[in-house]
Amino acid sequence: MTKVFKRFYLMLILLFLYLPIAVLIFQSFNAGVSRAKWEGFSLRWYVELFRDPAIKKALWVTVSIAALASFFATILGTLAAIGINAMKKGSQGTMMTITSIPMTMPDIVTGISLMLLFIFTKVDRGYFTMLLAHITFNTPYVLLSVLPKLREMSRYTYEAALDLGATPGYALRHVLIPAVRPGIITGALLSFTLSLDDFTVSYFTTSPLVQNLSTLIYSEARKGIKPTMNALSALMFVTLLVLLLAINYRSIKTNSNK
| Residue 86 sits in the same domain as residue 125 | yes
Does some domain include residue 37?
A: no
In a domain? residue 182? yes
Query: Same structural domain for residues 11 and 116?
Result: no
Q: Is residue 21 located within the same domain as residue 123?
A: no
Give me the CATH number covering residue 81: 1.10.3720.10
pLDDT in tens, 210-224: 888 888 888 877 776
The range of the structural domain enclosing residue 175 comes to 52-256
Determine the pLDDT at residue 209: 86
- Dihedral angle over CA of 60, 62, 68, 69, nearest 10: 170
> Is 180 part of any domain?
yes
> Looking at the domain assignment, is residue 138 inside a domain?
yes
Query: CA-CA distances (angstroms) from residue 143 to 95, 109, 181, 198, 228?
Result: 11, 21, 12, 19, 37
- Looking at the structure, tell me whether residues 14 and 130 fall in a common domain: no
User: What is the band of 204 on the pLDDT scale with cuts at 50, 70, 90?
Assistant: very high
pLDDT at 27: 83
Domain contains 43: no
The DSSP line for 106-124 is -HHHHHHHHHHHHHHTTPP
Non-local (6+) Cβ contacts of 27 within 8 A are: 35, 227, 230
Q: Are residues 59 and 172 in the same domain?
A: yes
Q: Which residue has the higher pLDDT, 160 or 255?
A: 160
Residues 154 and 83 in one domain: yes
Looking at the 3D structure of the chain, how many domains does it have?
2
Same domain flag for 127 and 249: yes
**pTM over 0.85, yes/no:** no
Residue 122 has pLDDT above 60, yes or no: yes
Same domain assignment for residues 107 and 208: yes
